[in-house]
Amino acid sequence: MKRKLFVISLMLLLVFCDNLYAQNFVSTAPQKKNVLIEEFTGRNCGYCPDGHIIANGIVHDNPGRAWAVNVHAGGYAPTSYPNFNVTESEQIMYAFNVTGFPSGVVNRSTADAVSRGSWQSYANQELNQSAICNVGGQVVIDEETRMANITVEVYYTASSNYGSNYLNIIMLQDSIFGTQSNGYTNPDQYVNGTYCHMHILRDAVTSMWGDQISPTNVGTLITKQYTYEIPQIIGSPNGVEVDLDNIYFLAFVTERYQGTPTRPILNVNELYRIEGTSQNISPKIISIIPSSKFSCSNEKHVSVSVNNAGTETITSMEIEVSVNNGTPIKQTWQGSIPQYQTKSIDVEVELEEGTNTIKIDVVKANGISCETSMIKTVENEGWSEIMINSMEEEVTIEIMQDKYGAQITWKLLASDESVIASGGPYTNLSGASATELHEVKTVLSAGECVKFVIEDSMNNGICCNYGNGYYRIVNENGMVILDGDGAFGSKAEHVMSVVYSEIVTENIEAQICEGESYTEYGFELIEMEAGIYHEQNFYDDTLFILNLTVVSNPEVVIEGDAEISIMGESATLTASGADSYLWSTGETTATITVAPEETTSYSVVGTKDGCEGSAEFIVEVTVGLEENEKNNAKIYPNPTNGIMQIESKGMKKITVFMPNGQCLENIVVNEDVYLLDMSCYKSGVYYLRITNSDSVRVYKTMKL
């Protein structure tokens, strides 16, 4: 509508005040974009209830981050009661070249309106983008006078590409009942045969395409104030009453003029609403916001925003603070909060680690008793201690990136939030699961409280499908004082108190044999190879320095008579490679004499420097290959160039040996016939040890 056509009682009074007020409402921390869906609709549009369902779903799934506004305009928007058409609706519709209903624009990110099937996709894209500015504010409504005092703050967390942007404020109204084609297809808004129309665009507080704001560089806080008289009825003919109980205000910032409209929307937010009053003293607590600053103490600070909804300037307050239903602690405040202004008051609280419930009560203002309170649940995530060995120590920050290094950034912050060290983004790597280690050295001082923050812009950490990354901080002794894996999603944070501690050290000299493990004092050295190892481990408040010698196992060899031609004939076997020996016969000398009645395997365990090695040797009683048939086993063809069939009643296991005693195969059989595939064996002599249910025999075979 064109407000200049209204009588004075409907005039819009504007008061501008840039950069003159301390920040009260808007966050200064970087955030993701919120979303505004401008939905072009009409009461005579049969498909529009389906558009309402889609837009409502996006809003429902993103509370506090997404809003929809129904823009009634065009041929499907009749002027019969209730007439939702306003001049702003028509201008917005024409500016975005609407050709079909329902359609819409999501954060004005497209030149033309898009169909309802695309809204979810565009909304997801916008919600995942970083915002360059945050928007916040309040609306104080005096129901008697219908005056709305509006304060909007815009804070730039990054610089805009343009020196000027545009601030837009619109008023929406819910719960207006009227006709709607096919309204029954949206049962959530279909009540007793009548459609309940929601989030309808009723008016623009600012100029049509927004009021110009500047500067737009990072760190700028812009504050604007407006006084707006809320009309009784909007729409002509058949206008609709503006019900104060069902209106709310959205503020959004657009980038620049592109054609007729300003677009795209850089960020949007709903303005906090409070009720004004004609009382002299009327403080209202509108928010309790935990301080974004970190500390290594349970003494925390919260910012309590108090609005003066009364007519008299508030100059003093008595405040009671209780935590987790504990005894209230009184605090006093003095200052100045003019009418309809808001002041942020810093309140100190003692919090337990974990979840806490804070209750703030303003019990007196200007010495007059009053009642306004708010309860807020806040988290105290606590902190950890990290040990350094001197008052100042150089530490190494290790970042093992995954394949997508361009997604990774990190920083180490001091307690004043200045950056001690930082890194990333890194270069993307080739290879499905490639990793690369980055090391940054920095100095930590005892008594500092620091915070380590690592972020991944795609919200999937630095692990798993794209390489197993990690992050950690290592002190000068090589002790890991912060250890984090890569599965942290979008962000991991660690608040740490840097503590000087003269570390107790203990040197350990240890020796194990090759293949053994060392697991004392927190070390996990498994199945070690021969060599000398130097390791450190902080365990049970002590730094253990391990010098570990892994001794090679002796290579024991048996030499001697491999064949005898007469059963019971003597054969001499000699072991070497160790200092002492234990034979399978029970003898402990290096050389033994045996007199087997049949082909027999002998083994010896040799010991040297406390470690053991073993060997096996077969003495064959050669009575010809045909002798196999006399020993309760049939082996054929023998010799063979491939498959050898073995028949022996009650076979349990077949073991294949080379003449030097090396075991090639251990085969569990549990049947009377077995086909042994020797096609991959080299040509030569082999021995089969056949274990039956009642005997163990050794047979000589040959591979051609």
Alpha-carbon distance of 597 to 695, in angstroms, equals: 14
Q: With contact defined as beta carbons under 8 Å apart, do 309 and 285 qualify?
A: no
Alpha-carbon distance of 173 to 86, in angstroms, equals: 13
- Residue range 231-263, pLDDT digits in tens: 999 999 999 999 999 999 999 999 999 999 999
pTM score over 0.85: no
28 is written with which tokens?
């200064």
pLDDT surpassing 80 at residue 400: yes
Q: With contact defined as beta carbons under 8 Å apart, do 553 and 607 qualify?
A: no
Could you tell me how many helices (H) and strands (E) the chain has, helices first?
Answer: 3, 52
pLDDT at 660: 63
What mean pLDDT comes out for the span 282-296? 88
pLDDT surpassing 50 at residue 8: no
pLDDT at 9: 26
CA distances from 204 to 125, 207, 257 (A): 27, 7, 17
Pairing outcome for strands 133-142 and 272-275: parallel
Tell me, what DSSP letter sits at residue 662?
-
Q: With contact defined as beta carbons under 8 Å apart, do 615 and 560 qualify?
A: no
Nearest alpha-carbon partner for 305 in 322, 293, 288, 290? 288
Residue 465 burial class via C-beta count within 10 angstroms: exposed 0-12, middle 13-18, buried 19 and up: exposed
What mean pLDDT comes out for the span 500-518? 89
Pairing outcome for strands 262-270 and 272-275: unpaired
Alpha-carbon distance of 355 to 485, in angstroms, equals: 25
What mean pLDDT comes out for the span 480-498? 93
Higher pLDDT, 129 or 595: 129
Pairing outcome for strands 611-621 and 563-564: parallel
Q: With contact defined as beta carbons under 8 Å apart, do 606 and 554 qualify?
A: yes
- Residue range 9-66, pLDDT digits in tens: 222 333 333 333 456 789 999 999 999 999 999 999 999 999 999 999 999 999 999 9
Q: With contact defined as beta carbons under 8 Å apart, do 168 and 195 qualify?
A: no
| Range in 87-96, 97-106, 289-298 with the lowest mean pLDDT | 289-298
At residue 89, the 3 state secondary structure works out as helix
pLDDT surpassing 60 at residue 509: yes
| Position 646, amino acid | I
pLDDT surpassing 90 at residue 483: yes
Q: With contact defined as beta carbons under 8 Å apart, do 491 and 469 qualify?
A: no
Q: With contact defined as beta carbons under 8 Å apart, do 291 and 297 qualify?
A: no
Half-sphere exposure of 356 (CA within 13 A, CB side): 24
Q: With contact defined as beta carbons under 8 Å apart, do 480 and 537 qualify?
A: no
pLDDT surpassing 50 at residue 651: yes
**Residue 326: partners with Cβ closer than 8 Å, 6 or more residues away:** none
pLDDT at 692: 86
| Position 105, amino acid | V
411 is written with which tokens?
């920083």
Q: With contact defined as beta carbons under 8 Å apart, do 612 and 554 qualify?
A: yes
Three-state secondary structure of 251-308: EEEEEEECCCCEEEEEEEEECEEEECCCCCCCEEEEEEEECCCCCCCCEEEEEEEEEE
pLDDT at 229: 96
pLDDT surpassing 50 at residue 627: no
Alpha-carbon distance of 213 to 609, in angstroms, equals: 84
In the predicted model, what is the mean pLDDT of the chain? 90
CA distances from 453 to 108, 398, 450, 488 (A): 33, 13, 10, 11
pLDDT at 5: 24
